[in-house]
Amino acid sequence: MSQPLLLLEVNCPNCQAALTHGQQVILGAHLVATHQDGEIRLSALFGDDQVQTDLAMGDGDVATFTCPYCERSLMVETPCKLCGGPLASVNLASGETMEFCGQRGCRGHALGGFGDVDEMTDLLNRMFKIPHD
Ligand SMILES: [Zn+2]
Ligand SMILES: [Zn+2]
Distance CA 20, CA 117 (A): 24
Ligand 2 geometric centre to CA of 15 (Å): 25
Ligand 1 geometric centre to CA of 97 (Å): 14
Answer yes or no: are the C-beta atoms of 90 and 74 closer than 8 Å: yes
**Contacts for 109 with CB less than 8 Å, ≥ 6 apart:** 42, 49, 51, 100, 101, 102, 103
What stretches in the chain show pLDDT beneath 70?
A: 1-5, 114-120, 123-124, 127-133
Ligand 1 geometric centre to CA of 14 (Å): 5
Ligand nearest to the CA of 102: 2
- Per the confidence metrics, is the pTM higher than 0.75? yes
Alpha helix positions (H), the chain: 117-127
Ligand 2 geometric centre to CA of 59 (Å): 11
pLDDT value at position 129?
Answer: 66
Cα-flanking dihedrals φ and ψ of residue 124, to 5°? Answer: -60, -45
Ligand 1 geometric centre to CA of 117 (Å): 30
Ligand 1 geometric centre to CA of 18 (Å): 9
Ligand nearest to the CA of 99: 2
Residues 96-126: tens digit of each pLDDT: 888 999 999 898 888 877 656 666 677 667 7
pLDDT value at position 117?
Answer: 62
pLDDT value at position 3?
Answer: 52
Distance CA 35, CA 24 (A): 24
Ligand nearest to the CA of 78: 2
pLDDT value at position 75?
Answer: 97
